[in-house]
Amino acid sequence: MAAPPDLGPNVIIFTPGTPQSTIQQRVNQVFTQQERSQFGANRYAFLFEPGSYNVNVNVGYYTQVIGLGMSPDNTNINGAVHVEADWFGGNATHNFWRGAENLAVAPTGGNDRWAVSQASAYRRMHLKGNLQLDDGGWSSGGFIADSRIDGQVRSGSQQQWYTRDSQIGSWAGSNWNMVFTGVAGAPASTFPSPPHTTVANTPVIREKPFLYSDSSRNYHVFVPAVRNNARGTTWQSGAPAGTSIPISQFFIVKPGTTAAQINAALAQGQHLLVTPGIYRLNQTIQITRPNTVVLGLGLATFIPENGITAMSVADVDGVKIAGILVDAGATNSNTLVQVGPNGSTANHAANPTSLHDLYIRVGGAGVGRATNSLVINSNNVISDHSWIWRGDHGSGVGWNTNTADVGLIVNGNDVTAYGLFVEHYQKYQTIWNGNRGWTYFYQNEMPYDPPNQAAWMNGATRGYAAYKVGHNVTNHEAWGLGSYCNFNVNRSVVGERAFEVPNVPGVRFHSMVTVSLGGAGTINRIINNTGGPSNPQRNVANLANYP
């Protein structure tokens, strides 16, 4: 049997032969450290090799729990893999930055809990019971993909949720915006009463690459194939389509690795496996070769220094970036992540670039500044779960401190986004200039902190839209979009509209909601000059279709 690769100090590998007490003690130790560590510096990944385990894994901040089988059913947890909000009095709205992947869980008593908000992916899981998505208090999640939940998913207080390409026994609950694509067992589309939006199939998707161990304990990364008109999981009917890459073809990035070493490995044609840690970059990570895989474990974090771009991708086929948190540095970066240079024109329809669990943060762990967070210039890119966040709490936040204009700019054509969360930017949250764009689920909060209306004006217009489709776009379609305001510094502030689009037949929006959170401010219109307002008198406003 092969020995596992050296994945650095923050990856903890368990085998079925590891004593139960040893496993439980280690996961408890990490949870105790990470339970409240919202902006802490530690990062962890627990890897469970195929087999059965009796363990209760309470998942804290910057912790990822992963099974190493080719199927979730190869790695069985008898007990729980769960997220609670005990530390915050049941309020799960700050339960970010964690994940569970590729496990079968038989929960004690038949029920498990995943009480999370943004950036907490639940992927490729088989839950042999019911799943509760809140902990009795507020909650603002979340994302499930390529999973089977045998019992009922209960959303509880969740404000919004996106579930993709899964199978569920049933779904109970709704609040403002529940979206399903390619989900067997999903409720019917009934937006806005209740606010369920269901699309039968997912048009084009690639699942996130994942690490696995074969019968000889040799490690590989599996890269799933692109699926068209997908529905249900990739794994229930046998081995999924895709390609295995041996770990020997990966440069393993461990704490202390420099940006120069990373770029040298990429230039030699290696892929990247980024182990848990914080990596300060004094040069841009440059992904120039087609089909390159960058897979992060344990919320591996890149921080650009001196105002550089953290990561840039050439206009090539088939790049996969997965499981990376990019944290803006104190010196302003014009762009944090760029996919394709300006003016990219190549057609990548046969082999698109895909972004999975790509999280971007500006402020919160300290002062961060970036004009634009994610810019997609290439065509045919798939964004599969992103949280692009200008911090509204934590360290280094304030209207003139963590300055950030725009969260996402899409200039490429035929770009598709699933589970897109963009929040608190100071101008437009999302600008979509490319043609034939598709978005399935969008969650937004406008900036909390404009000091007054004069500070947040777009020319003569009050504030900036949460999602702007460019004037020259002739074809764009979006399903299940929510934009909320909480102007808690000055409740008299007004955002004129949440969604701003050209009035042409090919631009269509479905299932939109605006919310004035606790009546703190006003969103005057939902889309263009239609719908709304959401204000102190009427917090929630819905619009089923536009036009």
Partners of 160 in the β-ladder:
177
Tokens encoding 454 = 């004069």
**What is the CA angle 320-387-206, rounded to 5?**
30
Give the C-alpha separation, 16 to 48, whole Å. 8
Fill in the DSSP letter of residue 30.
H
DSSP for residue 141: -
What positions carry a catalytic annotation? 445
The owner of tokens 């305001």 is 485
| Contact by Cβ (8 Å): 136, 90 | yes
Buried b (16+ CB within 10 A) or exposed e, 127-139: bbbbbbbbbeebb
Q: What CA–CA distance (Å, rounded) separates 302 from 299?
A: 10
Q: What value does the CA radius of gyration of the chain take, rounded to a whole number of Å?
A: 22
DSSP string covering 74-100: GEEEEEEEEB--GGGTT--TT--SEEE
28, containing H or E segment:
helix 20-34
What whole-number distance in Å separates Cα of residue 74 and Cα of residue 68? 8
Nearest to 301 by CA among 356, 366, 255, 265: 255
SS3 26: helix
